[in-house]
Chain A
Amino acid sequence: MTNDDGARRPAGQARAGGRMSADDDAARRPAGQARAGGRVENLDAARRIADGVFWLGGCLSAFSAGEEVHYHVSSYLVVGSRASLLVDTGDPAHRALVLDQLEAALGGRTLDYVFPTHPEIPHAGNLPALLERFPEARVVGDVRDYALHFPEFEGRFDARRPGDSIDLGGREFRFLPAHIRDLENTVWGHDSGARMLFVSDGFSFIHDVPLPDGDDDEPVHRPGQCRLFSGEMPAPPSVEQAAYGTGRALYWTKFVDVSTAFAEIERMLAELPTELIGPAHGNVIDDVGGMLATSLAAHRRVYDDARKQ
C-alpha cells in the first residue's frame, strides 16, 4: 500500500500562462525521422509523426524505487482533406495541454470526430472538454455506456463497429477489433494515409524495469524519453522489459495464451499495411516487425511464468 498523494502528476508541464504552438521543427522534418540526441525538444507541442498525424498528450510521473519514471498517456490526431479525427482524449491531468496541442495542430480547422478507444479515464476522460470546445464534433467508436457517463452529450454518440470506416479525405480511418485490451468495449483503428495502427492499451512497453518493489501498473520510461519513437530510444525494449509492462498492465494475460490474438494481429497487418503503431501508453513503434516479435515473446513469458507459480 502506498500513499499516492502528490506522487503522480503531469510530467513535462505546460508553460505557465502560455499557449502552445505547433512543433514547427517537427513540421519541417520528414515524418518519422529520428531526432538528434534522442530527445523531443518541445514536449508542450504536438509532435508531427507522419503526414497528417500528430502525437498529442503527455506523460504522468510517478516514483518507483525512489526514482522518477514516466508513462505516456497519448492521443493521436489524424487530419484528412475533409475531416479530422482524434484517437483517445488524453488524461484529465493533461486537459489544458491536449486542448492547446490540438488547437495548434488543427491550424484553424475544427475537430470533426473524437474516437475514445474505450471508456477509461486516460482514453475518454477529456471528452466533455473536447465536446464543449468543438460543438460540432461527434463521438465515434463503441459508444455503449457513454450516455451513462456523459448524459449531457447524449445526442452526439455514433456507433462505429469493427469493419466500419470513415473517409477523412485522401485517407480512410478504419475501426478494428482490439485483440489486446482490458475492457471489452475497446476498439482499435487504422489510418490508411500514414499506414498507422492505433492500439489503445496494446503494445505498451517499458524501457527501464523498476525494481521489484515498484508499484506501478502502467508501462513506464525514464524522463527524457518522452514521445520518442521506439527506434529513437537508447535501445529497443527487451523481452523482459516488455513482459514487465504486459504483466502489470494487462492482468488477464497471465491466464491466457495470446498466440491466437497475435495470429489475428498478423492477419490484420497483412491486410492493412502498417508502418507505425501508436499505443496509448508507450512509445510510438516504428519497427513493427521487431516489436511484434518482442511483444509476443513477452506475453508468452508472462503466461509461462504464471503457470510456474
Chain B
Amino acid sequence: MNGSAGLLAPPVGLAGSRVHRLGAEILLDEHVSWCPEGVRRRQPVNAYLIRGEGGAVLVDTGVRRHEAEVLQQLDELLDPGEPITILLTRTEMECCLNVPAIEARRPVDAVWYTGGITVPRSTAPARRVSVEPGTSLDVELRPGVVLQLVSPLLRLLPTLWVYDPPSGVLLTSDAFTYARGDGEAGDPMEGLVKFRWFGGADTRPIARDVLRVIGSRRVTAIGPGYGFPFVGEAECRREAARLAACLEEVGGR
C-alpha cells in the first residue's frame, strides 16, 4: 500500500529562500487513481511554501498521509506561531485535507480556494477566488506577496496555477506531473491519466493555452502538485512544448 518514505524529509528549496517544496513520497501504483497503467515507482506529493517579506503563503497542504511531514517542514521554515495564508489550487483531497491540522499548529489567516464546495477548516476564514479559464488575476495574499493566479484550460475542477513573479516559479497543481526524478525526462502522456475526457475533445485550445501561459512569463521552475519539478527556463519551455504536443495528439477532433 501507499506510504511515505518513513523519513521526515526536510523541505526542498526550489527558488533560493523564496519557494520551498514540502511533502513526501508515495508509492505510485495501482492504488493511486492518477497512476498510469503498469507503473510502480515512488512519487512526491507536493505542497509549496512561498516566503515574502510580508509573510508566507502555503500553496496546497499535501495528502493526509503526510500530515506529520508537512507540519514538521512548516516548523522548520517558519517561526513558532508565525501565521500563514493557505491557497488551494483546487479542492481535491490531496490539496486540502491537512488544513485543520495546520490550523491546530499555527494561525491561518485565510484559506483561499476555487469554489464549488466547502473547504475543511476549523476557524480560518475561507476566501473564494474565481478566475475565468484562460485568464489570470493578480492577488495580494499577504502584504507584499502578490501572486498571479492563472486559470488554465487544462483542468477537471476549477483549478489555479500559481505564478510567483519575483522567483519565476510556476506551480501547476495537477499538470506537469510526470517528471521521474531519476534523470529521465518522463512521459507527458503519463500526466494525462486523470484527463481522459481529452480523448473526446478538441484539445488544440488547451495545448495553445499551455504554451501561452509558459511563453508569456519568465518561468524559471515548474512545481507540480505531484511528481518532481522542472527547473530552468529552457527546460520549462521545452516541457511546455512536449506537453502541448501530447495534448494535441491525445485529443479527439
Pick the contact of A4: B64, B96, B128 (CB < 8 A).
Answer: B128
Q: Which residues of A contact B118 (CB under 8 A)?
A: 8, 60, 91-93, 121-122
Q: Is A167 an interface residue (CB 8 A)?
A: no
- Interface 1/0 per residue, A129-161 and B, CB below 8 Å: 000000000000010110111110010000000
Are B93 and A149 in touch, CB under 8 angstroms? yes
- Interface 1/0 per residue, A151-195 and B, CB below 8 Å: 100100000000000000000000000000011110000000000
Are A1 and B137 in touch, CB under 8 angstroms? yes
Looking at B9-17, B75-83, B177-185, B194-202, the stretch in contact with chain A turns out to be: B194-202
Are A92 and B158 in touch, CB under 8 angstroms? no
Are A120 and B91 in touch, CB under 8 angstroms? yes
Are B93 and A145 in touch, CB under 8 angstroms? yes
Q: Which residues of A188-237 have CB atoms within 8 Å of chain B's CB atoms? A: 215-218
Q: Which residues of B contact A154 (CB under 8 A)?
A: 1
Are B1 and A147 in touch, CB under 8 angstroms? yes
Range of interface residues on A (Cβ < 8 Å): 35 or more
Q: Is B241 an interface residue (CB 8 A)?
A: no
Q: Is A260 an interface residue (CB 8 A)?
A: yes
Query: In whole angstroms, what is the CA distance A255 to B133 when docked?
Result: 13
Query: In whole angstroms, what is the CA distance A182 to B155 when docked?
Result: 10
Which residue on A lies nearest to B31, using beta carbons? A144
Distance in Å: Cβ of B119 to nearest Cβ of chain A:
8
Q: Is B146 an interface residue (CB 8 A)?
A: no
Query: In whole angstroms, what is the CA distance A125 to B117 when docked?
Result: 11
Q: Is A3 an interface residue (CB 8 A)?
A: yes
Which residue on B lies nearest to A1, using beta carbons? B129
Distance in Å: Cβ of A194 to nearest Cβ of chain B:
27
Q: Which residues of B contact A20 (CB under 8 A)?
A: none
Pick the contact of A148: B65, B137, B156 (CB < 8 A).
Answer: B65
Q: Is A296 an interface residue (CB 8 A)?
A: no
CB within 8 Å for A255 and B201 given contacts A92-B118, A183-B194: yes
Q: Which residues of B122-152 have CB atoms within 8 Å of chain A's CB atoms? A: 125-131, 133, 137, 139
Q: Is B203 an interface residue (CB 8 A)?
A: yes
- Chain A binding surface SS class: loop
Distance in Å: Cβ of A179 to nearest Cβ of chain B:
11
Pick the contact of A255: B64, B127, B128, B202 (CB < 8 A).
Answer: B202
Which residue on B lies nearest to A9, using beta carbons? B118
Most chain B CB atoms below 10 A, which of A4, A215, A260: A4
Distance in Å: Cβ of A155 to nearest Cβ of chain B:
10
Are A120 and B33 in touch, CB under 8 angstroms? no
Distance in Å: Cβ of B36 to nearest Cβ of chain A:
12
Are A147 and B197 in touch, CB under 8 angstroms? no
Are A121 and B33 in touch, CB under 8 angstroms? no
Pick the contact of B115: A91, A125, A217 (CB < 8 A).
Answer: A217
CB within 8 Å for A148 and B26 given contacts A122-B117, A252-B156, A255-B203: yes
Are A251 and B116 in touch, CB under 8 angstroms? no
Q: Which residues of B contact A216 (CB under 8 A)?
A: 115
Pick the contact of B94: A3, A124, A148 (CB < 8 A).
Answer: A148
Q: Is B120 an interface residue (CB 8 A)?
A: yes
Q: Is A285 an interface residue (CB 8 A)?
A: no
Which residue on A lies nearest to B96, using beta carbons? A121
Which residue on B lies nearest to A259, using beta carbons? B200
Q: Is B193 an interface residue (CB 8 A)?
A: yes
Q: Which residues of A contact B119 (CB under 8 A)?
A: 121
Q: Which residues of A68-123 have CB atoms within 8 Å of chain B's CB atoms? A: 91-93, 119-122
Query: In whole angstroms, what is the CA distance A54 to B143 when docked?
Result: 49
Q: Which residues of B contact A1 (CB under 8 A)?
A: 128-131, 137, 139
Query: In whole angstroms, what is the CA distance A278 to B22 when docked?
Result: 40
Q: Which residues of A contact B32 (CB under 8 A)?
A: 144-145, 148
Which residue on A lies nearest to B203, using beta carbons? A255
Q: Which residues of A contact B33 (CB under 8 A)?
A: 119, 142, 144-145, 183-185
Distance in Å: Cβ of A2 to nearest Cβ of chain B:
5
Interface residue ranges, A against B (CB under 8 Å):
1-8, 60, 91-93, 119-122, 124-125, 142, 144-145, 147-151, 154, 182-185, 215-218, 249, 251-252, 255-257, 260
- 4 closest residue pairs by CB, A with B: A4-B128, A255-B201, A185-B33, A217-B116
13 CB-based A-B contacts, threshold 8 Å: A2-B129, A8-B118, A121-B118, A122-B117, A145-B33, A147-B31, A183-B33, A183-B92, A183-B194, A184-B33, A185-B33, A251-B158, A256-B197
Known: A148-B2, A215-B128. 19 other contacts (CB 8 A): A1-B130, A4-B127, A4-B128, A92-B118, A120-B91, A120-B93, A121-B117, A122-B118, A147-B2, A148-B26, A148-B65, A149-B97, A183-B33, A183-B92, A183-B156, A184-B33, A216-B115, A251-B157, A255-B200
